[in-house]
Structure 1
Amino acid sequence: MKIEVKLLEGQKLQASFGKHQIISDQSVSVGGNESQPEPFDYFLASMPLCAAFYIRKFCEQRDISTEGISLTQDNNNIGEDKYHKRFNIVVTLPDSFPQKYRKALLAAANTCTVKKVIQAMPEFEIAIAE
C-alpha cells in the first residue's frame, strides 16, 4: 500500500492512502497543539484494533454476540532500552460468553496481522527521492 504524507501547519501531518486520510499532531512540549493523536499513538492503537477485528470475525462465524467484549492494551519498557517494549492486551468478556470458546478466541486474536508483521521484524529504508 502506498501512503503519501503531507506536512500541514504547525506540527500536523496528513497521511493519505486509498480513500482515507489520517491527521496527526504532536504534544505541546514539541510545538504541536495535541489536536490529533501522535504518529506513535496510531501505531499503538493498531494492535488492539487488529486483535479486536479478529475477535469480531471469530464471534460472527459462531453467531456469538460481541456485546460486552472489550480490549485494553498497555505497554511497558523492557530493560533500559526505551524502544524494547512489551505489549499486553487484555480481552474482557461478558459472563455470557461461552466458556468452551475462550481459548479459541485468544488464538483468533493472536492471528492479528499487525502483531505478525512486528514479530517478523520488518526492514525499513528511508531515502531521498531522485
Structure 2
Amino acid sequence: MAQAQQSVVVSENGLGPYQQTVRLGKHTLIADEPVSMGGEDAGPEPFDLLLAGLGACTSITLRMYAERKQWPLAGVSVALTHDQVVVEGGGKLDRIARTITLEGELTTEQRNSLLAIANKCPMHRTLQSDTRIDSMLTDCREVATAT
C-alpha cells in the first residue's frame, strides 16, 4: 500500500480557530474540530482522520487479498467508532470498534480468513504496536530559509 515515504504537512490556515490544512503529496484536506469543541466543523476532526486511515487500509487490504485468492468479494464497507472505556484501576483505554461488511458469495471459511487478514492490515498492526513518535522543534527562521 504505502510506497515511498513522503511527509504529511499540517498547518494552521487562519480560516478558523482550529482549522488546519493537511497536505499529503498532491492531495489537500481540511481538518477541524466540531463546533462543540470550539471549531467550525469545516472538516473531519483528527480522530476521524485516524479512523478513516484504518478503514481505508482495512478495505484495501481485504480487496487485495480477495483478488489474489480470486474470491468473489463484491464489496467491502468498514464502519468505525472511537471511544474511551474505563479499565480496572480507574484508568482509561482507547477503543476502536470496527465493523466490516463483506458482500459476495463467500464461504464461511473465506469470511473468517478475511477477518483474520483485516486484523493484519498495516494500520491495524501499527495501532496495536508499541509505536514510537520522535518529535523535534525547528526554528521558523530555518524553515523560511529552507524554502
TM tier relative to shorter chain: 0.7 to 0.9
The two structures have a TM-score, normalised by structure 1, of 0.82
Q: What is the CA deviation profile of residues 4-58 of structure 1, one whole-angstrom value per residue up to 9, with x for unaligned ones?
A: 2221111211121222222111111333221211112101221122111111111
Q: Distance in 1 between matches of 2:133 and 2:69?
A: 39
Q: What is the CA deviation profile of residues 62-120 of structure 1, one whole-angstrom value per residue up to 9, with x for unaligned ones?
A: 333433432222334231545x2222222223462222312211121112111111222
- The one-letter amino acid paired with 1:7 is E
The two structures have a TM-score, normalised by structure 2, of 0.74
Unaligned runs of 5+ in 1: none
Fraction of identical pairs, as percent? 27
What is the count of residue pairs matched by the alignment?
Answer: 129
2:18 matches 1:22:
no
Unaligned runs of 5+ in 2: 1-5, 140-147
Which structure has the higher relative contact order (CA within 8 Å, separation 6+)?
Answer: 1
Q: Distance in 1 between matches of 2:133 and 2:48?
A: 19
Q: Distance in 1 between matches of 2:44 and 2:128?
A: 24
Match of 1:67 among 66, 74, 80: 74
Alignment partner, residue 41 of structure 1? 48
